[in-house]
Amino acid sequence: MFLSVFDMFKVGIGPSSSHTIGPMVAAARFLDHLRAQPFKVAGLKASLHGSLAFTGVGHSTDRATVLGLAGFRADDYDRDKADAEMARITAEGWVEPDGLPRLTFRPKEHLEFDYGPALTGHANGMILKGCDAQGDVVTQVTYYSIGGGFVLTADELASGADKQDGPPVPFPFKSAAEMLDMAAESGLSIADMKRENELSRISHADLDTGLNRLWQVMNDCIDRGLVTDGILPGGLFVKRRAKGIHEALLAEASLNQTAPHTINDWMSAYAMAVNEENAAGGQVVTAPTNGAAGVVPAAIRYYLDHVPSASAGKIADFLLTAAAIGGLVKFNASISGAEAGCQAEVGSAAAMAAAGLCAVLGGTPEQIENAAEIALEHHLGMTCDPVRGLVQVPCIERNGLGAIKAVSAASLALRGDGTHLVPLDAAIETMRQTGVDMSDKYKETALGGLAVNVPNC
């Protein structure tokens, strides 16, 4: 099984990988579909289904769909240009993406939120349609945003395209057990095996450049969040807190009298900085999703800023190890909150961060697998219940606690020899089963949990 580090970690925009980045990816694919047709279309229509409908407004799914159909992409997003184009489309009712004629598209009329039953393939479904001059649909494609910015058509999902390997790689592990066996046989670390798999697809230079960019975007996101205050958009009037917490921590640091547990506040500040940026629609890296984007960067920043032996040269190993674990979770279960609740998002992120930190602190493959298992096991059953459908409450603080759990899991694993009762594969399978059994109202639909028990209007 091969899932690239650049699939697990993608540069994009907030507030949601499945509800914002995914629809933009789907729109780009649909534009390519239209460009390949022998006929020309005159207009566009779109419908959002399942969780994309129920929490679409709070996750900016409508805006992402409109901008995606206008040709905007998440990986090179320009907020100012997007704002201007969104205003123009709303006023004038047309888009003109590259390689296509001017297409009629009036968002209020042609973008439907369908609150009926979800489409059969996945909780995050959308149908994009091309119309003739009379407004009749002449071509349409159903897309599913399956978490982390991954998008499949209905046909691809039905054929199992998300489980297909492509060309062979040197270390094709599909489970943690296989990963450990290959590490023992080869004598390589998990990061080294993952690196060899990546190098079967791209050059050393491209791999290094790509990994450096991922951390640069992550770190820049932390830094922006630590110096920005104000109220987050969306109507909940959630106040940004990372800046204030960080300033207080800096002031206390000079006193040399802080309690040891204050390190948890540092980790929370780093994670919350990222997720406040995400909630504001800023640039983030899916890790493995936007809703969980703060956990991995916070763990890396903790390592660099607070561990005496830290080396920036080990960040690549952190990311590669984390991606290996994230790939196992995605392949064998899910990283989608709409499919399996927040255990699939923050739980997966904590497992990835724990594994990465354990690796750069000198952990063996067995200790790394143990660290990931501890972190995931103690997120099992966590629901996804965003208040008003916004990626703010409880999501922002939840990333801070996820980072704390990740660091604790890595530390516990390093205190042992790697032997433990519950294998990572068992924790992943338990998460999958729990997601299947979990009520849909606890899967990002904002129909249960905190979303209905917290006054928000």
CA distance 172 to 420: 24
d(CA 376, CA 356): 14
- For the record, the structure tokens of 60 come out as 């900016």
pLDDT at position 256, please?
A: 75
Whether 213 is covered by a domain: the verdict is: yes
Asked if residue 184 and residue 156 are part of one domain, the reply reads no
CB burial of residue 441 (10 Å; 0-12, 13-18, 19+): middle
Q: 350 is written with which tokens?
A: 């904590």
Q: Would residue 4 count as lying in a domain?
A: no
Do 329 and 208 have their domain in common?
yes
- 257 Cβ contact partners less than 8 Å away, ≥ 6 residues apart: none
Asked whether residue 137 falls in the same domain as residue 174, the answer is no
| Measured distance CA(353)–CA(307) in Å, rounded | 15
Let me know whether 334 and 379 are in one domain: yes
Q: Give the number of residues written for the chain.
A: 457
Q: In this structure, what DSSP letter does residue 419 have?
A: -
Q: What is the CA radius of gyration of the chain?
A: 22
Asked if 144 and 27 sit in the same domain, the reply is yes
Q: Which of 449, 338, 393, 388 is nearest to 48 (CA)?
A: 338
Q: What local confidence, expressed as pLDDT, does residue 230 receive?
A: 97
Q: Is residue 304 assigned to a domain?
A: yes
Cα–chain-centroid distance for residue 158? 23
Joined tokens for residue 49:
């289904």
pTM: predicted TM-score of the whole model, two decimal places: 0.93
If asked whether residues 283 and 313 sit together in one domain, one would say yes
By residue range, what is the domain housing residue 38?
15-162
Peptide bond into 455 cis (omega under 30): no
Token pair in block for residue 268: 């929370």
Residue 408 lies in a domain: yes
Per the CB < 8 A criterion, the answer to whether 286 and 10 are in contact is yes
Give residue 164's pLDDT: 64
Alpha-carbon distance values, 387 to 66, 110, 394 (Å): 24, 27, 7
The answer to whether the beta carbons of residues 266 and 305 sit under 8 Å apart is yes
Report residue 194 as tokens.
């993952």
Distance CA 191, CA 195 (A): 6
Q: What is the pLDDT of residue 456?
A: 61
Distance of CA 443 to the CA centre of its chain: 15
Specify whether 133 is located in the same domain as 203. no
Helix or strand (DSSP H, E) at 267? helix 262-279
DSSP 147-166: ETTEEEEHHHHHTTGGG---
- Listed as ranges, residues in the chain with pLDDT below 70 are 163-165, 456-457
- pLDDT value, residue 165: 66
Tally of domains within the chain: 2
In a domain, 5, yes or no: no
Looking at residue 76, its pLDDT comes to 87
Indicate whether 212 and 244 sit together in one domain: yes
> Which of 141, 162, 183 delimits the end of a domain?
162
What pairing do the DSSP bridges indicate for beta strands 43-50 and 111-114? parallel
Q: Is residue 40 a part of any domain in this protein?
A: yes
Query: To the nearest whole number, what is the mean pLDDT of the chain?
Result: 96
In a domain, 65, yes or no: yes
pLDDT at 1: 78
CATH number for the domain including 205? 1.10.4100
Nearest CA among 209, 247, 213 for reference residue 227: 247
